[in-house]
Structure 1
């Protein structure tokens, strides 16, 4: 079974179990991936987290049955895995903008959400400059802040983090750096589930990659030994960086025998003195080889 078929099999599994407790580990198994990678890729492919997709599909099914007079609100709540009619009503209102009773009465138009279907969109292949790196465990040492997720433009919370670092702080971090990626780096981890909808927050670090002891003055994130896919982005900043990040999920992961593993996503930028933008950037993503191959 190829990867596209496997992903559609996972979607069919979810669709067949909307009235039951859905086992995401089983859905991931059918997609041929870990649960962590399945959730991340599903969010990218569907545009919403898998939990939100399931909620929308359940509410869509429930709306059809309520409008057809096949179910009472109480029965719909039980059928679609809600603990109480009130919890079901809140979820229904969030999806449809009305109560289940209003839907049953046919007083307003409903917005229904069809099942997703994974397809290949044929375009000209995008050349991606990457390498695979095996690294021993290390630490990210620096400053940390929980910040809102923001895809485009300057994130003011991260800007404030940079502003809080003095020249002496930056010099100290550069001196502390003793492993790849060298110098000052940024890292993001612990994403909220609504990442692809630009909702929630993440832990953002500005600091250095360090093997060995870290002074107490710095926040520390322990990073276990792992394999990393390292992508180089060169050209107009930040457009080329954002394009590369998108292509990693849209083109690279579906084409290789690797999947993302849990861990920080690291950004290294080659700042040249006097330049207003970095000459190049590297995106470091922790990966593991899928069973059955290690193609690069």
Structure 2
């Protein structure tokens, strides 16, 4: 068994036992490693210490439960392994900048630490061959765009370390931008009613930040006042298509794993260079949507 498989066994075990006491010694035994080497290997592969990872996954589950159920906050805290209302509130506020009561009263999108699929760091697939892993199907292909496409939307800048999927928790600034765009979308002249939507991460002139565009397909490159445009230039693209069980997992989990696989595994191992932007392309943000794509443009 590869080292990453041993760690993945414990990641899976943790996910199924978030309400239980989870001891380093017991997890190390599952991985067939010494406690010292287990903690060292876990931190290297998961990018978080074991106990910190457990806390973040408990917070992720609890934050979902706060919105999806009417259970008392104390009961939710106990369901996810917190010893008291006080310890849960302290951990929640440290991670997200608000208390569980404030979050339940005024829900916002949150960046949670996703459960990793470590095989995405090591398994290489050929083009047009699907890779199936827990809850996700990924397939990579090439596409030649013969004419430019235009999009109208809004932009924001965010600190690089706060980028979703980067490991930090907090309020999901990009989700708020999408909510704002969708609130205005029907009134924007030039947007095609049934056109695709895209989110684009690209460089920023502001040090330590990146820029993000959220918008929808337009019938021309004319840009209404108060909005910005994005031109998808003609050329050759690598397209990473992926599916998840539902829309929430698609945009809050699968998209980050697809990015990680494409940029940290697939492209480097194929020695391909791309332009400095990444495009997330959706048919729509409808809750029934379970597929999306990440596009990158090849540098010839």
TM-score interval (norm. to shorter): 0.3 to 0.5
Q: TM-score w.r.t. structure 2 length?
A: 0.44
Q: Decide which structure has the larger Cα Rg and report it.
A: 1
